[in-house]
A and B are shown apart, each in its own frame.
Chain A
């Protein structure tokens, strides 16, 4: 039997649709129409039309209208507002991200477990702030001599330079008074910039002058609360300077022949470089004042590498001794910190200097409580408890440098020395913040004893307990001491009057409590915090700490049923009354839940609490919420919904979904999740039904719903289930008590199914049109009634489906679902596959027609033939000769035995002739000529 290829006709659905529609009759002016507006005159409508079409006029008019969006942005836009209010820490952090990278390279000798200075500087800048007015005293010498130097003899040049260095004697000073802290920071940053500029424009003397003047600011201890931050800002400039000098000298050593290796020896440096380097050191040695001389020399310490191998190791002890000349203990301790910092960077192996700094510091420790300092504090109106906390940043750094990889014996010695001194709270604090946590933890009871003995008037005790708590969070004390430690510490903490002091301390100790004790103790601690923070709404000022407490508790209680059984946990949450903070906390909780909850839960305590938490998050969504935020919230809520399972209790599950649906209606992803869940529910429930067609139709409907909600894989599952259910359809079904053949129902269902399949996109991992193929296989294998043509009718329908599928654009789509037309984009391979399927189906139909050539079936053959003819006419491309010939044959077959209904045939022919009048259907004229009408004779 000849194989007929299939060529589907290209359809222009839009045009066809338009041609089928009733023609719109324009209404003439003056004609009556009940819906027509009465007042509008012709001329006016024209005007309006024109106005609407020209964009220029319409846009010009909009300028006078107040735009609601632009009015929101009136005033300061949010970004510049952020910039304006940014705290110095954030500002500085942004300022030196590049510097951090460089520092990391330098620190590589030290190892990653050494906390680098860059971590500290942000904290310091954020912590030591002031509202008092600051002043900068700068003695920028006039630019004299700069222009003329070229002509001067060298000796004079040197002299003028030295004079310029001394220029500050001569009153070219400018004093900037009444600066706010932010102004001050800006000024310092400007100086940093002008240093770089001066360097870049080869004004080395000016650069040096800037550095000297800046480091001189460090000898000024007025507005003492700001000193640590000032130190950070100015040492940044010194770092810049040190780097510039080092790099310049380094570049002098790099000639065309070779590049200096990183670990070079002084012999590799050439004479010019050495001379330049020596020059710098001579220049710096002649700086009159002690503090600038110290800082500037320390900043270029690394340059000693060019001069001699032992340069650095000789310089460090000398600089250490030099600090003894600094009378002010605060200034001197910061100078030590700077030296230790530079020392650690340049020569981390030279531990001796660090130790010397420490012991020198102990020797001068008594000065802190000396008369000179007391007098100064009285003048500035600063109390001792707020003066002493200015020391820790520097001391911690020194202690940290020394204790880094230090032998136990040294640490013990240091501790013993600290113990012996009076007023040693400050020392204790730094020991606790800088030494190894294990070292502290094993001696916790000792420390508690020492802290208790400390003088009440000096360094605040809560800071000491805080430091101890920080250590205990990192390292475990001996098992036997644990409860006693907590009791002793909490006894002190709970007596703290100031809520800020209290919360700063409590926050740290919560971690220790969570780590070593049960929910009973945690509950007690939380209760205590609530008790302290509720009066006068003190919690409003401590949200960050309270948030940290929650985070710590969550981090240690992974079992949420235990967590929510901590009685005070939910009351604790109630303290977060500012919405943004509250939502943050909720997010943390949900995040932890998703991370740690292993198994689905139906625990009513968890569900209740978490639904509440999720509701809080959901309710924070409003029109201004950012997309990202919404996505985040949805993710968290979805994570929760996924973890809820009532097992076989589907009703409960469904009612949970219904409740969720009502709660989370503002977040689309959550709704999608709920639909997923419901779809899954359907999938599980449908098999339990009895009626086969009910099941089939429900599968189809659920699949359609899933598809409509972009749940593609769920839809696939439904369709597959439906397909696999088809073979189970019995031949007879009971309808209203009567047994009836099921074929017509099946036919109806399958036709419906086909129209859905048109838009189902192919699964990327299965073959082309795998659902259609599977369905065809099922139809093929189904045992049909012997004398029925249903199978062929179904095949005809399949042919229609396949023709529709080969169109460039499908007849209909589901919003947001890409069907095969856009997936394949009319790919030729896809079309070929499609046509192959058509051929197979056609072959089946023709085969069947052949079997009907017997007398009793002639009528069926005729009608089937005609319907097939109609199908080809409607969907096939009759310009194809073979198809054309097939249609002519079918026409004859339909009429051959006189079984055809003449009127139908006449109508059909008329239709063809009518169609042929359309522009791209002219080939039908020819076809019509070849289709004779057989009169019944």
Chain B
């Protein structure tokens, strides 16, 4: 390894807000002195939109129109062509995170169909004989705290066979396990492929402390199995992202699972509250976002698995924010 290029961002967590100055150093280390044609540093922020395969057929017409949206882009020349001495050379840099016009610095978000990403790229141009060196480094943008007072919105819920909506008529095929609700559509309570009459009796009660969530705080609540004829196998919290791409003419809306957290394993004690607790994963969640071109929303499903093969889902839309 002859020459190494590295970018060190000053903040250990690499988190910056609009209006702040992103600073750090570019480190060039080499045993021998390095001849180069100039070093430049590029800061870039983009929103990448992608349509799911499912949606492609339907909206083929404007498939091509989904282009990356550039939020911020600037390049500075750090060093003019010349030579670095052997050893370690550190070149400090600063980028003010200011936006032109009415553009907004969205919060970093890594999704499936929507990706908001900020990168720093350092390029060292070199003569024909030596390859150019490039180093990329992601930094994270957090949006500014939302104005207005945060008001919690608690939700109580009760789940019984009667409250279920999506019960299929027809008997269950034995030995055929239910598919996991990896793309459960929001706003529906469902249980798969079971006649309501065949369902075992159960009564689940619970509450979420708030569906308005602060992204840095966990989702909390309680769940009580008041009664259940069938033994409980598992209770899970499924965090779902709902990403919408497109505009007025048409849009693609997809719900996918971010993570699935088990909160109860096995036949839990009746009448004893089980805590609902889920930490929002960093990068994969962001404050609920709504723009003209795309939307990022979140939902949580409470999934109860009963013996032998019943799957009950209760869905709650969430609103994430940062304060």
Query: How far is B14's CA from A158's CA once the two chains are assembled, in angstroms?
Result: 14
Q: A290 to chain B: which residues have CB within 8 Å?
A: 262-265
Q: Are A293 and B261 in contact, CB atoms less than 8 angstroms apart?
A: yes
CB of A142 within 8 A of chain B? no
Contact of B265 (CB < 8 Å), options: A271, A291, A318, A372: A291
> Is B267 part of the contact surface with A, judged by Cβ < 8 Å?
yes
Set of chain B residues within 8 Å of A318, measured between Cβ atoms: 275, 277
Q: Are B274 and A324 in contact (CB under 8 A)?
A: yes
Please provide the chain A residues from 359 to 376 with a CB less than 8 Å away from any CB of chain B in the complex.
360, 363-364, 366-367, 370-372
Instruction: State which residues 108-126 of B face A: CB under 8 Å.
Output: 110, 117, 119
Q: Which residue of B lies closest to A274 (CB)?
A: B12
Any chain B CB within 8 A of the CB of A145?
A: no
Q: In B224-283, which residues have CB < 8 Å from any A CB?
A: 231-232, 235, 259-269, 272-275, 277-279, 281-283
The answer, yes or no, to whether A463 is at the interface (CB within 8 Å) is no
Provided the pairs A275-B13, A325-B265, A326-B266 are in contact, do residues A158 and B283 lie with their beta carbons within 8 angstroms?
A: yes
Q: Does B309 contact A (CB under 8 A)?
A: no
Residue in chain A with minimal CB distance to B139: A154
A275 and B140 alpha carbons, distance in the complex (Å)? 14
**In the complex the two chains form, is B260's CB within 8 Å of A327's CB?**
no
Interface string of B83-123 (1 = CB under 8 A from A): 00000000000000000000000000010000001010000
A219-B265 contact given A155-B283, A327-B232, CB 8 Å threshold: yes
Which residues from A are CB-within-8-Å of B269? 324, 327, 363-364, 366-367
The answer to whether the Cβ of A328 comes within 8 Å of any Cβ in the partner chain is: yes
- Determine if B272 and A288 form an interchain contact, defined as CB atoms under 8 angstroms apart: no
A285 CB–B CB distance under 8 Å:
yes
Contact indicator per residue, chain B 117-152, by CB within 8 Å of chain A (1) or not (0): 101000000000000000011100000000000000
Q: Mark A245-287, 1 if CB is under 8 A from B, else 0.
A: 0000000000000000000000000111011001001100110
Cα of A322 to Cα of B218 in the assembled complex, Å:
14
Considering the chains assembled together, what is the distance between the CA atoms of A782 and B264 in angstroms?
Answer: 107
Q: Is the interface of A mostly helix, strand, loop or mixed?
A: helix
Are B275 and A154 closer than 8 Å at their CB atoms?
A: no
At the interface, yes or no: B11 with Cβ under 8 Å from chain A? yes
Instruction: Determine how close the nearest CB of chain A comes to the CB of B168; give it in whole angstroms.
Output: 26
A271-B12, A322-B275 given; A282·B265 CB < 8 A: no
Tell me, rounded to whole Å, the shortest Cβ–Cβ distance linking A537 to chain B: 46
Contact with A288, one of B137, B232, B260 (Cβ below 8 angstroms): B260
A325 touches B279 (CB 8 A): no
The answer to whether B261 and A286 have CB atoms under 8 Å apart is yes
Q: Are B12 and A154 in contact (CB under 8 A)?
A: no
User: Pick the contact of B259 from A155, A275, A288 — CB < 8 Å?
Assistant: A288
**Is A531 located at the chain interface by the 8 A CB criterion?**
no
Contact B138 A154 (CB under 8 A): yes
Residue from A289, A325, A326, A364 having most chain B Cβ neighbours under 10 A: A325
C-alpha spacing A293/B138, complex, angstroms = 29
Question: Among the listed A153, A289, A324, A363, which residue makes an inter-chain contact with B136, where contact means beta carbons less than 8 Å apart?
Answer: A153
Q: CA of A784 to CA of B130 in the docked complex: distance in angstroms?
A: 120
Instruction: Verify if A931 is at the interface (C-beta below 8 Å from B).
Output: no
Please give, as numbers and ranges, the residues of chain A lying within 8 Å of B274 by CB-CB distance. 321, 324-325
Q: A364 CA to B266 CA in the complex, in Å? A: 13
Given the complex of chains A and B, what is the CA–CA distance between A272 and B11 in angstroms? 9
Number of interface residues of B (CB under 8 A): 33
Chain A minimum-CB-distance residue to B279: A285
Kindly state the separation between the CA atoms of A281 and B282 in the bound complex, as whole angstroms: 11
Closest to B259 in A: A286
User: What residues of chain A lie closer than 8 Å to B277, measured between beta carbons?
Assistant: 318, 321-322
Cα A786 to Cα B113 with chains together (Å): 136
| Cβ B136 vs Cβ A325 within 8 A | no
Given A159-B110, A364-B272, is A275 in contact with B12 using a C-beta cutoff of 8 Å? yes
Q: Which of B12, B138, B282 contacts A153 (CB 8 A)?
A: B138
Inter-chain contact B283/A325, CB cutoff 8 Å: no
Residues on the B chain within 8 Å of A363, using CB: 269, 272
Report the Cα distance A322→B278, complex, angstroms.
11
- Name the interface size band of chain A: 35 or more
Tell me the complex Cα distance, A598–B136, Å.
86
Write out, one digit per residue, whether chain A residues 871-896 have a CB within 8 A of any chain B CB (1) or not (0).
00000000000000000000000000
Assembled-state Cα–Cα distance A372/B228 (Å): 12
Q: Which residues of A contact B262 (CB under 8 A)?
A: 288-290, 293, 325
Across the interface, do B282 and A282 meet the contact criterion of CB distance under 8 Å? yes
User: Contact between B268 and A327 (Cβ–Cβ < 8 Å)?
Assistant: yes
| Cα(A360)–Cα(B137), bound, Å | 48
Contacts of A285 in B (CB 8 A): 261, 278-279, 281
Q: Taking CB as reference atom, which chain B residue is nearest A294?
A: B265
Q: Are A153's CB and B119's CB within 8 A?
A: yes
The residue in chain B whose Cβ has the minimal distance to the Cβ of A221 is B266
Shortest Cβ distance from residue B50 to the other chain A in the assembled complex, whole angstroms: 15
- Per the 8 Å Cβ criterion, residues 1-48 of B in contact with A are 11-13
Interface check A331, CB cutoff 8 A: yes
The answer to whether A327 touches B264 (Cβ under 8 A) is yes
Shortest Cβ distance from B44 into chain A, in angstroms?
12
Interface centre among A155, A272, A364 (most CB of B within 10 A): A155
Chain A, range 846-865, C-beta contacts under 8 Å to B: none
* Docked complex: A133-175 residues within 8 A CB-CB of B: 153-155, 158-159
Known contacts A275-B12, A290-B263; decide if A282 and B138 are in contact (CB<8 Å).
no
For the complex, what is the distance from the CA of A360 to the CA of B275, rounded to whole Å? 13
- Docked CA distance A282–B264 (Å): 20
Q: Identify which of A285, A318, A360 gathers the most chain B CB atoms within 10 Å of its CB.
A: A285
Chain B residues contacting A154 (CB-CB under 8 Å) are 137-138
**Complex alpha-carbon distance, A274 and B259, angstroms:** 24
- List residues of chain B with CB within 8 A of the CB of A291: 265
Bound CA–CA A670/B260 (angstroms): 77
User: Once the chains are docked, how many angstroms separate the CA of A158 from the CA of B282?
Assistant: 10
Give A281-316 interface residues, CB cut-off 8 Å to B.
281-282, 285-286, 288-291, 293
Using Cβ atoms and an 8 Å threshold, which residues of chain B touch A370?
Answer: 267
- CB <8 Å contact, B272 and A324: yes
B110 and A155 contacting across the interface, CB-CB below 8 Å: yes
| Cα-based distance from A658 to B232 in the complex (angstroms) | 82
Contact between B279 and A327 (Cβ–Cβ < 8 Å)? Answer: no
With both beta carbons as reference points, the residue of chain A lying nearest to B137 in the complex is identified as A154
From B232, which residue of chain A is reached at the shortest CB distance? Answer: A327
* Contact residues of A between 186 and 200, Cβ < 8 Å to B: none
In the complex, chain A residues whose CB is within 8 Å of the CB of B273: 324
Contact residue among B11, B12, B231, B268 (Cβ-Cβ distance under 8 Å from A325)? B268
Distance of A693 from chain B, by nearest CB (Å): 100
Q: Which of A274, A275, A327 contacts B266 (CB 8 A)?
A: A327
The reply to whether B281 and A372 contact each other, CB–CB distance below 8 Å, is: no
CB distance from B193 to the nearest CB of A (A): 23
Instruction: Give the CA-CA distance A274 to B277 in the complex, in Å.
Output: 23
CB distance from A717 to the nearest CB of B (A): 83
Please give the distance in Å from B112's CB to the nearest CB on chain A: 11
Within 8 A of A (CB), among B265-308: 265-269, 272-275, 277-279, 281-283
Nearest residue in A to B220 (C-beta to C-beta)?
A318
Q: Are A271 and B13 in contact (CB under 8 A)?
A: yes
Looking at the assembled complex, report how far the CB atom of B90 sits from the nearest CB atom of chain A, in whole angstroms. 17
Query: Could you jot down 17 A-B contacts, CB within 8 Å?
Result: A155-B138, A219-B265, A270-B12, A285-B261, A286-B259, A286-B281, A289-B262, A289-B265, A318-B275, A327-B232, A327-B264, A328-B267, A366-B269, A367-B267, A372-B231, A372-B266, A372-B267
The 7 closest A-B pairs by CB, nearest first: A327-B266, A271-B12, A325-B264, A285-B279, A290-B262, A327-B267, A321-B275
Residue numbers of A with Cβ under 8 A of B are: 153-155, 158-159, 219, 270-272, 274-275, 278, 281-282, 285-286, 288-291, 293, 318, 321-322, 324-328, 331, 360, 363-364, 366-367, 370-372
Residues of B within 8 A of A (CB): 11-13, 110, 117, 119, 136-138, 231-232, 235, 259-269, 272-275, 277-279, 281-283
12 new A-B contacts, CB < 8 A, other than A322-B275, A327-B269, are: A153-B136, A271-B13, A272-B12, A282-B281, A288-B261, A290-B264, A293-B261, A322-B263, A325-B268, A326-B268, A327-B268, A363-B269
